[in-house]
Amino acid sequence: MIKICFFAISVLCLLLTSGSAARAEQELRAQTFSRAQMQSMIQFLGSDLLEGRAPGTRGGRLAEAYIQSLFKLWDLAPGADGKYGQAFSLLGFTMEHLAIQAAGSWLKFHKDVMGTYAAQQSKFDMRGEAVFIGFGIATDKWKWDDFKDEDISDKIVIARVNDPGLAHAELFEGKVLTYFGRWTYHIEEAARRGAKAILLIHTDETAGYGWQVVENSWGTEALLLPADTENKLKFRGWIKEASLRRVLARKRIDLDELYRKSTQPEFRPIKLGFQVRIRGRQQHRKIEVQNMVAHIPGKTKQRIVLSAHIDHLGIGPSGTDDRIYNGAIDNGSAVASMMLTAKALKQAQDQLHYSVTILACQAEESGLLGSRYYVTHTDRENIIANINFESTPVWEAADTIMGVGARFSSLQDGLKKVASDMDLGYSEFSMTNQGFFFRSDQFSFARFGIPAIWISAGENDSSGKRKYPAFWKTGYHTVKDEYHADWPLEAMAQTIRATLYLIDDLNQTRTPPRWTRKLTFPTQ
């Protein structure tokens, strides 16, 4: 600790001579974070005792209580109408058995298909005409309409994930996945058009992850906001491409030819000539959860919201040796980064022009539900920006700072300056083609027109092993995401410092961030 503080004092003297006293104080606070402090939060949030922190479980409630205790310990004001907890309801559905019959073939739960039946019924048995809807996209932004004038109400639709840019670089944003390529969008659009069920075709390339991620993510309790069940779309799920090929072969239908047609602007829905039957058994319940919210008043009511989700996948099905999805990185390290940032900002409260809200949100893993609920039930007029922490890297120091989604707003200019001040480069996430901007809580704010980013140290670390990209390929949404005492946490410290620098710049310039380019997603 003495060594860390000595280094911080050296940095303080250097920055004071360069004329930035406020920056120097921020640097001092950042450098006095000990590795033990960072470790303690990740270790607790990733502990087996929290049982994977699924919303509405004992572990999920413990995570909420832990965050509230830190808010109180650091004397942060309640941020949800005089309370720390913003309570809301969710509907939970746990599939126990699922079987799908198509063209005379039965598809098996886990092996071929995964899914959720979004109605409060213990048993279900539904049938419908199968229709291939291509990517299932309709947007004026790229003058694309897969539906034309076809009515798909009460149909069971089969859709590709991703978007047409996957096949043709001149369409949409080429290989960069847009909002319209996300599986969540395909479900939303099918619901808007009255379909009764949707099967999303899974490939590693189009989804951006393997079937095991679908199994793990959809094999535990599925959560929905009650309003999201008030439509005809009762079943939403995934089917392996190889399994679909076998079904279509029985009807002499070439899936590759369907794919080819789906990449053409003139595509329209194709009736496949067979019925699909979906039946199963599930548990269902209504649960109460809380976003945990604190506030640090600045000199103005305009505010910056820091966010990180506290939930993870909980406990997996029986039959495996390790069933707990600990979520130490996703999202323990990110929550710890946000909380230590908040602690430093509280210490610097008298220097804050903008107020700061700290949002530890629930149910991100179920489709950004907690952050979506927060944004729709708070005073958005005063929010100038959102800075989100997601799966913060825990390894050696990186050579860059990156901001996922920063390219859309002036926050990118701010981050580039921050990186320069830290003697680092600025980088884009190499996995942008997997649509990460739309996959974490910053997107809930962006959807309402609020400039938002996911901030992180970059991918290239001093070990030379690029451990962060490797995590997304092998550890993400698996039981391997566990706490390790030997993590150096240098990249995590960089992330905290970069956030403090960025907030300091916003306070110094007093210029709210703005959108700087055409948005490739709809706003409300």
Give me the pLDDT at residue 118, please: 97
Q: What is the pLDDT of residues 482-502, one digit of tens each?
A: 999 999 999 999 999 999 999
Q: Are residues 427 and 367 in the same domain?
A: yes
Mean pLDDT of 382-386: 98
The residue among 67, 469, 113 whose CA lies nearest residue 292 is 67
Rounded Cα distance between 107 and 104, Å, is 10
Rounded Cα distance between 178 and 438, Å, is 8
Whether the per-residue pLDDT at 14 is higher than 70: the answer is no
Give me the pLDDT at residue 176, please: 87
Answer yes or no: is 461 within a domain. yes
Q: Are residues 68 and 110 in the same domain?
A: no
Answer yes or no: is 82 within a domain. no
Q: Are residues 366 and 482 in the same domain?
A: yes
Domain final residue pick, 232, 255, 284: 284
The pLDDT confidence band at residue 22, using thresholds 50, 70 and 90, is low
Answer yes or no: is 78 within a domain. no
Give me the pLDDT at residue 1, please: 32
Count of the separate structural domains present in the chain: 3
Give me the pLDDT at residue 433, please: 75
Residue that wins the pLDDT comparison between 51 and 171: 51
Provide the residue range defining the domain that includes 488. Answer: 34-73+297-509
Whether the per-residue pLDDT at 208 is higher than 50: the answer is yes
* Residues 184 and 224 sit within 8 Å (Cβ to Cβ): no
Half-sphere exposure of 225 (CA within 13 A, CB side): 16
CATH number of the structural domain spanning residue 184? 3.50.30.30
Whether the per-residue pLDDT at 7 is higher than 50: the answer is no
Which percentage of the chain shows pLDDT scores above 70? Answer: 93
Domain final residue pick, 284, 317, 335: 284
Residue that wins the pLDDT comparison between 337 and 8: 337
Q: b vs e for 4-19, b when ≥16 Cβ sit within 10 Å of the residue's Cβ?
A: eeeebeebbeebeeee
* Residues 88 and 291 sit within 8 Å (Cβ to Cβ): yes
Q: Are residues 267 and 192 in the same domain?
A: yes
Give me the pLDDT at residue 116, please: 97
- Cross-strand partners of 250: none
Considering the chain, what is the average pLDDT of its residues?
92
